[in-house]
Amino acid sequence: MEGGRCLWPRGKVIGGSSTINYMLYVRGNKKDYDIWEQLGNPGWSYKDVLSYFKKSEDNRNQNYSKTPYHSTGGYSYHSRGGYLTVEESKWHT
């Protein structure tokens, strides 16, 4: 904050602020899925739903492909070939 003010971008076009929203791919917290299963929803643990996340995504983030947990080989949390392209934003604000 500078002088008690901060930059807060707003859409000044037809559609309002939704015209400047990013399309983000964010998974829920692992603990949330595990708690859902503990509350009586079998098959909803993070371990169980991870395969569906991986099946649906096409990870194109070069930084992720260089780390053991995010790479597409071995024990990983991301994969390639799905219908959801996941990559770094080409635009930065």
User: What pLDDT score does 76 carry?
Assistant: 75
Q: Is residue 25 part of a domain?
A: no
Total domains present in the chain: 1
Report the distance separating Cα 67 and Cα 25, nearest Å. 19
Assigned domain for 1 exists = no
pLDDT at res. 52 = 94
Please check whether residue 91 lies inside any domain of the structure: no
Residue 5 within a domain: no
Q: Is residue 73 part of a domain?
A: yes
Tokens of 28: 């829920």
Model pLDDT, residue 93: 58
Provide the pLDDT for residue 33: 97
* Residues 29-87 pLDDT 10s: 999 999 999 999 999 999 999 999 989 988 888 777 677 666 555 557 778 889 988 88
**Count, residues in the chain:** 93
pLDDT at residue 12 in the model: 73
In the 3-class helix/strand/coil scheme, how is the chain assigned residue by residue? CECCECCCCCCCCCCHHHHHCCCCCCCCCHHHHHHHHHCCCCCCCHHHHHHHHHHHEEECCCCHHHCCCCCCCCCCCCCCCCCEEECCCCCCC
Q: Residue 36: which domain range? A: 30-86
Is 3 inside a domain boundary?
no
Which carries the bigger pLDDT value, residue 28 or residue 4? 28
User: Is 59 within 8 Å of 80 (Cβ atoms)?
Assistant: yes
